[in-house]
């Protein structure tokens, strides 16, 4: 290799590395912005008696997001998972957060399912999804709750994401509608609204599929949804922060040295 060629290669390598560094810096900054859009611990403290968030993005930015907002006497809380991860997922998640803010502040009497119906309209419009041509098929899976602090009733509506409730150690799973926020394969249907009474001390959990889909180092199998439910049930009488720590330990123990395959989000709150 001539010295000229070598110099050229070195310059190219330097430029490449410099470019990577700049990209990483941009991404890290984007990650900070994304994190800033999600509620911080203080904000959640003000909304719930107790809570934890186990949020572990696979990359610097995440396709998973969580959301919490108090509007008049309603508290809206959600955990979403945008298709893909990394930058595309993060962009969609920011859109999702923004849509939720718009919808919640526009609707006088928020209904969980109508929030999702409307969010779907916004996503479809934003992504130009009409079902007529090959357009982006991106979508958001989300579990969303609206808690009325006056009537103490909780509404839940889910797009592929369930809700767990633990009452006196007993686990109840509220199944989501099997569709996501975005263009449906054939036809869009309305989301279902589940309304439940709450009791003091009830714990609720919203989560994405990153935890249960994680492969284990030892077994080479997915953690699975049922096992996640069991873990949550087993720690449910502990303070929420401790539950978060145990879930985090459990995740890392399970994953071992295998790669994290997706963003992970588990959000627990007690009312």
**Distance between CA atoms of 31 and 60, rounded to whole angstroms?**
6
How far, in Å, CA of 28 to CA of 240, rounded? 29
Least gap, CB of 115 to another protein (angstroms): 11
- Decide whether 94 or 195 has the Cβ nearer to another protein: 195
**Least separation in angstroms between CB 175 and another protein:** 18
Q: How far is the CB of 142 from another protein (least distance, A)?
A: 16
State the residues that interact with another protein by CB under 8 A: 111, 113-114, 117-118, 120-126, 129-132, 183, 187-190, 193
Which CB, 35 or 193, lies closer to another protein? 193
Give 163 or 181: the residue with its C-beta nearer to another protein. Answer: 181
**Tokens for 148?**
């009325």
HSE at residue 169, side-chain half, CA atoms within 13 A, is 2
- Minimum separation from the CB atom of position 190 to another protein (A): 4
How far is Cα 17 from Cα 230, in angstroms, rounded to an integer?
46
Residue 169 or 190: the one with the smaller Cβ distance to another protein is 190
Report in angstroms how near the CB of residue 68 gets to another protein at its nearest.
23
User: Between 66 and 99, whose beta carbon lies closer to another protein?
Assistant: 99
Task: Count Cβ atoms below 10 Å from residue 80 Cβ, excluding itself.
Answer: 28
Scored b (16 or more CB within 10 A) or e, 218-231 reads eeeebbeeeebbeb
- Alpha-carbon distance of 187 to 169, in angstroms, equals 39
> What are the distances in angstroms from CA 259 to CA 2, 208, 235, 263?
41, 18, 26, 11
Residue with tokens 């049922």: 226
| Residue placing its CB nearer to another protein in the complex, 124 or 235 | 124
* Backbone angle region of 157, left / alpha / beta, with phi > 0 → left and psi within -120 to 50 → alpha: beta
Q: How far is the CB of 118 from another protein (least distance, A)?
A: 7
């Amino acid at each position: 290799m001539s010295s000229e060629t070598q110099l050229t290669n070195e310059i190219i390598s330097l430029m490449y590395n410099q470019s990577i560094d700049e990209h990483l810096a941009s991404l890290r900054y984007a990650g900070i912005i994304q994190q800033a859009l999600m509620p911080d611990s203080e904000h959640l403290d003000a909304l719930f008696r107790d809570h934890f968030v186990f949020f572990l993005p696979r990359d610097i930015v995440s396709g998973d997001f969580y959301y919490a907002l108090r509007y008049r006497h309603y508290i809206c809380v959600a955990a979403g998972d945008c298709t893909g991860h990394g930058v595309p997922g993060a962009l969609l998640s920011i859109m999702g957060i923004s849509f939720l803010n718009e919808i919640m502040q526009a609707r006088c009497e928020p209904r969980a399912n109508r929030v999702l119906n409307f969010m779907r309209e916004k996503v479809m419009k934003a992504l130009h999804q009409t079902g007529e041509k090959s357009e982006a098929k991106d979508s958001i899976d989300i579990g969303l709750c609206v808690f009325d602090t006056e009537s103490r009733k909780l509404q839940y509506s889910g797009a592929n994401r369930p809700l767990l409730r633990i009452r006196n150690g007993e686990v109840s799973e509220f199944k989501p509608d099997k569709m996501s926020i975005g263009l449906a394969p054939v036809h869009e249907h309305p989301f279902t609204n589940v309304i439940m009474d709450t009791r003091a001390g009830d714990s609720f959990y919203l989560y994405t599929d990153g935890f249960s889909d994680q492969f284990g180092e030892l077994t080479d199998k997915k953690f699975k949804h049922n096992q996640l439910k069991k873990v949550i049930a087993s720690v449910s009488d502990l303070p929420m922060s401790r539950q978060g720590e145990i879930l985090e330990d459990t995740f890392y123990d399970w994953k071992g040295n295998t790669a994290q395959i997706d963003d992970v989000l588990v959000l627990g709150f007690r009312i």
